[in-house]
Amino acid sequence: MLYLFILMFLIACVLLIVSGRVILASFPKSFGATKINLFLFVLGGFVGIFAFPNLFVRTAIFLGIHATQNVDYLVLPLVVVGALSCGTGLVWLRSRLKKSRTDKP
Read off the pLDDT of each residue in 65-85 and give the average, rounded to a whole number. Answer: 78
Read off the pLDDT of each residue in 21-44 and give the average, rounded to a whole number. Answer: 77
Q: What percent of the chain has pLDDT over 90?
A: 0
**Mean pLDDT of the chain, nearest integer:** 79
**Above 70 in pLDDT, residue 29?**
no
Name the pTM for this structure. Answer: 0.71
The CB-side HSE value for 89 (13 A sphere, CA atoms) comes to 12
Query: Cβ of 49: how many Cβ atoms within 10 Å?
Result: 19
pLDDT value of position 31 = 65
